[in-house]
Amino acid sequence: MGGYSTMMKLTNMIRGTADDSAARQLLRCWEHDEGTLAFWRASSNFVYVFDKNGIRHYLRFICEEDNTVERMQGELDFVLHLIDGGYPAAAPVRSLNGRWIETVETPNAGRCHGVVFEQAAGGHVPLEQMSDRHFEDWGRSLAELHLLSESYPVERARDRSWSDALDFIEMVLERHPQEQAARSELDRLRERLAELPTGPALTGWIHYDFETDNIAYMAEESRYSAFDFDDAMVHWYVMDIAAALGDLPELGDEAAQRKKERFIAGYRSVRALEEEFEAALPLFQRFDDLYSFARIMRSLVGFDESKAPEWAVRLKSRLTGMCCEIRGRWKPAVRLRPVDSGNWHACTRLEAAPEQQRTFPVPIVYWLAESAYCGFTPLALYCGEQLAGFAAYACDPEDGSYWIMAYMIDRRYQQKGIGRSGMEELISHIAEKHGCDALLLGHRPENEPASRLYESLGFEAIGHSEHEIIRRLNLNVKQPK
């Protein structure tokens, strides 16, 4: 884990929710009213509610595999700084031992670290019920938090910075080499963020998850209190705005734009926000997408559906769907065009990477000759207006099966997600044009990148020889994205 706070692993969530033993063990460390402990939710942490002298409190804990005492203390130190400055953050409560954090060994969840918080002041207002005034107060409340953050040392981040988050993302993607689009997005974000100016007025500690689920409206004071600072990190302050407004598209384009303007106006009534950074909001929304993607991917490691309860299987399906949605936002727009008199020569100049010469030794001109004399259909792959690759397919006259005979991406366009997007376009094109129920292809056994791509798209190996693996894709089922 590298010490970086992430989503809870789904396997840990299953173990931790098997019973309430971990919560009961931890609660003994704090003053509480007997018989009031109740499960509330489990997402990034396990959260239970209980009463102390008839007043609602929250017990939050997590497995050591998913977070460390040092990082949790970093979060609490920042929250205490905000409270000292008069900000209405949910306050942590010391244990009977005088500690903020207690650790217990549990039979199901292993070692767990727990903290207790008072209930935040105010009440929940759902996004769809928020008025323009609510949005202005929301933006103003975030700006007040950032003003206090300016006086809190960034050196106390303890592995809680945007660059640490990118390192965590890289570590996750190393375990998933097939996620080339995510890797390309990571490289682009590193480069773009490194170009941005920094400084006390621009970067500092942020909440990171200042969404409606983690704030409560204090109507008499026209401001919001905040809780759940477990994702707090050092970042550009505008990242907090991008993350807070991430769900606005659910309101529709026109309403979302108006609400965003009210939020920004409320923010600017307290703290400056430069136009260039408001314009950069989409960049920070991309960071949030990639960070969310990596945390989800990590959370699913080791999950076995055959041994999991039904609720966990449903959750895994929902999380996988979220990853597919995010991938769709990275997906390069690849279009297929016929090979004709205007582009055939350019196709012959496409080149495989040097290390791929053995796995794709046949020149494009050969496939064009096959197409002209043997009935193959050649297609050019374009990314925008740039020729990026080539494909050819054919129908076997003996049994009517459709084969992808050739597929390659030019070396200059590799490692950008174009290979996957192009193959998805090719599959859709053949299926829609010919109404076939399956596609077949072959590749050399040593071509591991191709093997991973085809497997991830649903191609199953049906034949294997020393020189070729034959794969079949059933088009009667929905293909993974």
Q: Which residues are catalytic?
A: 454
Beta strands 377-383 and 334-338 are: antiparallel
Which residue type does 25 have? Q
- For residue 335, the 8-state DSSP code is E
CB 434 within 8 A of CB 426: no
Which residue type does 51 have? D
Beta strands 402-409 and 438-443 are: parallel
Q: What is the C-alpha to C-alpha distance for residues 448 and 10, in angstroms, rounded to an integer?
A: 29
Q: What is the C-alpha to C-alpha distance for residues 146 and 268, in angstroms, rounded to an integer?
A: 12
Which residue type does 45 have? N
Across the strands, what pairs with 61?
A: 46, 114
Q: What is the C-alpha to C-alpha distance for residues 47 and 39, in angstroms, rounded to an integer?
A: 7
Helix axes 281-299 and 180-194, enclosed angle (nearest 10): 140
CB 149 within 8 A of CB 206: yes
Q: What is the C-alpha to C-alpha distance for residues 315 and 318, in angstroms, rounded to an integer?
A: 5
Which pair of structure tokens corresponds to residue 328? 């769709």
CA distances, 412 to each of 57, 248, 450 (Å): 57, 37, 17
